[in-house]
Structure 1
Amino acid sequence: MGQQEKVATSLAGTVSEEISASLAPVDAELERRYPGDPGTRQPVHTVYVPGDVFAADTIRSWGDRALAALDEHAPDAASFAAVLGLSDDLAEPVYSRVRAKLEREPIEDLRIDFEDGYGNRPDAEEDEAAARAARLVSEAYAQGTAAPYMGIRMKCMEAAVRDRGIRTLDVFLTGLVEAGGLPDGLVLTLPKVTYPEQVTAMARLLEAFEKAHGLEPGRIGFEIQIETSQSILGPDGTATVARMIQAAEGRATGLHYGTFDYSACLGVSAAYQASDHPAADHAKAVMQVAAAGTGVRVSDGSTNVLPVGPTEQVHDAWRLHFGLTRRALARAYYQGWDMHPGHIPTRYAAVFAFYREGFEQAAGRLARYASHTGGDVMDEPATAKALSGYLLRGLDCGALDTAEVARLTGLTRADLEGFAAPRRGDLTASAQ
């Protein structure tokens, strides 16, 4: 030990107190506006099924149809890997996990659609379909056959369909309550949002429903679907989507990009409407920055190229979907839409490959960070947060197993969750 240093200061203690007092409103604003990720599971996709098509066996049917597509067009790991360009070391682990996932949990998030996928129907018909959807969802949760997340997409808040959308939502939610209560995995989607005031209207609507049934305030959240140019950039030049998150008053759970409505709004020709178009990249980048730190998650859109027809055509569609999904994952869009059972094998293949190919490196870096042993990369708390979040997402979807993560990191799930949700001040501290 060397000579003990003399510690001297010049500022009076009241200076720090005064500064803290002056920043107290900012501290409160940071906590309110940027609470951080909720730490709950985020599904890797959302499947849309029209309200009149949804049935008690929809989830199992999609899984069976996806398995049948594999049996017909890629019956083993080698053939599937050849189609998608998977490396030899990933071929079997990915293929076996995809098949297991399709058998165990083919859909992670199901949205019963009463908007574009359903269209305009007589009121009595839509009432009946909404009531039926509520009954089937309640029964699925009671029987243990539900997807982890389920709900509806209502019609939007524009004048022409507003009343119909509100009534459908009311019928659906009332049916759930009367059948035993709102399930924990309930998700609602508000489409074609253009103005923050439409988001506030949705918040008021849900608040009124909660009061009518004596539910905890804020119990019901919803996703905001970004499908218009005005939702990204307002007439005053500001990012409307950021204002929408605040207009939800804490109820917003996600921002979902609508590939084709948004592209059409900008005049993109039908042949070029895709989730990797520059217009799509711009919109999602704005969404991502607006949502960062708020606890609101961003979802990519879908592809309309379906894997149907002869094997060569199916393989082409699979390669396209796989590539778009991998591209989205690299850009931190961890969720997307799937519109056909044939999309599910490549959704899971892309997701599982993404997490498995980076697993050992991420686990090693986090293990060294946790044990303070250093290495060839100097990581900080923010990076540890990203590494643990990566591993947790891999565990949640089934790409990784708890035992292998524990073996390579020496950490429990609770440890990972601790790194993934550090206190705000920890992120500004340097790694020890």
Structure 2
Amino acid sequence: MEDLRVDFEDGYGVRDDDQEDAAVKQAAAALLDGPRPPFVGIRVKSLEAPTRRRALRTLDLWLSLYPEPFVVTLPKVSGPDQVAAMVTLCQRLEDAYGLGAGALRFEIQIELPAAVLGADGTATVARLISAADGRCTGLHYGTYDYSAAAGVAAAYQSMDHPVADHAKAVIQAAAAGTGVRLSDGSTNILPVGSDVAVHDGWALHYRLVRRSLERGFYQGWDLHPAQLPTRFAATYAFFADGVDAAALRLRRYLERQSGGILDEPATARALAGYLLRGLDCGALDTVGFTREQLTALT
């Protein structure tokens, strides 16, 4: 596992304060005492009124226990005011704990249609990024909350529903060029149980991960360890399948050869970025270019 979120929101549920405090302490101790992934974060509860106090308490307690770098996932964001409030909260916690300005960063989870488009047609998600004042590291699509809020029946809620594709297209456009990373949502169809159920679950997960990669979402949420094999398989196959063609196109572009495809500088950047991602994730060992050459093109 490369990037872990300790969940104190929907996956954890509503407990009394003593229980959640104990769980925060347990989780922080487990991560500090044993091997941990290179990237770690926590998902607190929403800043909506009913759960706001608990979200602040959990984040404050986590900061008092966990001195390593981490990111906060902010769920169910409904508008820029919540993002601005999170910025203020980060500033005050940095002051309280003697952290450098900007040390606390957060991801925004897009789980409500109002966070994508406003009633006046405004792309709310673009305003969320601006309101974060440089602290937003990622936008994460929430498959099931978003679909339910959009009125999609439970049996048809999925990562590849047209409602999801529309939301993610707007998110992608808003984040383009900002440095804010994108993460697709999850599938709750788990590869567990009988052999048939496991194989069907793997086939579905593989297809959805590959689909996300092809659409420019290079990260996604997995809910169960049994989904990790197909996460790696789909990701590695995505880069292994395309490395030869991408390297050839980039070579021809640099050598001013057409080869039947007239590529432009923007495409060269995309080709170099694709090859770099393949190297960074471990799917590719060599691509015919040095990392320095590829970085210079992106």
TM-score (norm 1): 0.67
1:247 aligns with 2:131: yes
2:48 partner SS: coil
Who is 1:343 aligned against?
A: 227
Who is 2:90 aligned against?
A: 206
Letter in 2 for 1:412: T
Letter in 2 for 1:118: Y
Who is 2:64 aligned against?
A: 174
1:125 aligns with 2:15: no
Contact 1:298 1:333 in 2 (8 A): yes
Who is 2:53 aligned against?
A: 163
Task: Please report how far the alpha carbon of residue 371 of structure 1 lies from its aligned counterpart in structure 2 after TM superposition.
Answer: 4.0
Residues 106-117 of structure 1: pairs in structure 2 closer than 5 A: 107-117=1-11
State the aligned residue count.
298
Greater mean deviation of Cα atoms: 188-197 or 317-326: 317-326
Residues 357-368 of structure 1: pairs in structure 2 closer than 5 A: 357-368=241-252
Residues 61-76 of structure 1: pairs in structure 2 closer than 5 A: none
Who is 1:275 aligned against?
A: 159
Question: Matches of 2:72 and 2:201 in 1, distance apart?
Answer: 29
Who is 1:139 aligned against?
A: 33
Letter in 1 for 2:149: C
Task: Please report how far the alpha carbon of residue 356 of structure 1 lies from its aligned counterpart in structure 2 after TM superposition.
Answer: 0.5
Task: Please report how far the alpha carbon of residue 269 of structure 1 lies from its aligned counterpart in structure 2 after TM superposition.
Answer: 0.7
1:418 aligns with 2:291: no
Q: Which runs of 5 or more residues in structure 1 are unaligned? A: 1-106, 421-432
1:336 partner SS: coil
Who is 1:295 aligned against?
A: 179
TM-score (norm 2): 0.96
Task: Please report how far the alpha carbon of residue 373 of structure 1 lies from its aligned counterpart in structure 2 after TM superposition.
Answer: 4.7
Question: Matches of 2:290 and 2:254 in 1, distance apart?
Answer: 12
Who is 2:262 aligned against?
A: 378
Question: Matches of 1:174 and 1:128 in 2, distance apart?
Answer: 13
1:378 partner SS: coil
Who is 1:104 aligned against?
A: none
Task: Please report how far the alpha carbon of residue 317 of structure 1 lies from its aligned counterpart in structure 2 after TM superposition.
Answer: 1.2
Who is 2:215 aligned against?
A: 331
Question: Matches of 2:250 and 2:156 in 1, distance apart?
Answer: 41
Q: Which runs of 5 or more residues in structure 2 are unaligned? A: none
1:365 partner SS: helix
Residues 281-320 of structure 1: pairs in structure 2 closer than 5 A: 281-320=165-204
Who is 1:221 aligned against?
A: 105
1:223 partner SS: strand
Contact 1:133 1:172 in 2 (8 A): no
Q: Relative CO higher for 1 or 2, CA cutoff 8 Å, sep ≥ 6?
A: 1
Question: Matches of 2:223 and 2:110 in 1, distance apart?
Answer: 18
Task: Please report how far the alpha carbon of residue 375 of structure 1 lies from its aligned counterpart in structure 2 after TM superposition.
Answer: 3.3
Work out the percentage of aligned pairs sharing the same amino acid.
Answer: 59
Q: What is the CA RMSD across the aligned residues, in angstroms? A: 1.4
Letter in 2 for 1:360: D
2:221 partner SS: strand
Question: Matches of 2:196 and 2:28 in 1, distance apart?
Answer: 40
CA displacement 1:374-431 (0-9 Å, x = unmatched): 5332322211111111111111221111xx22xxx2x2112211212xxxxxxxxxxx
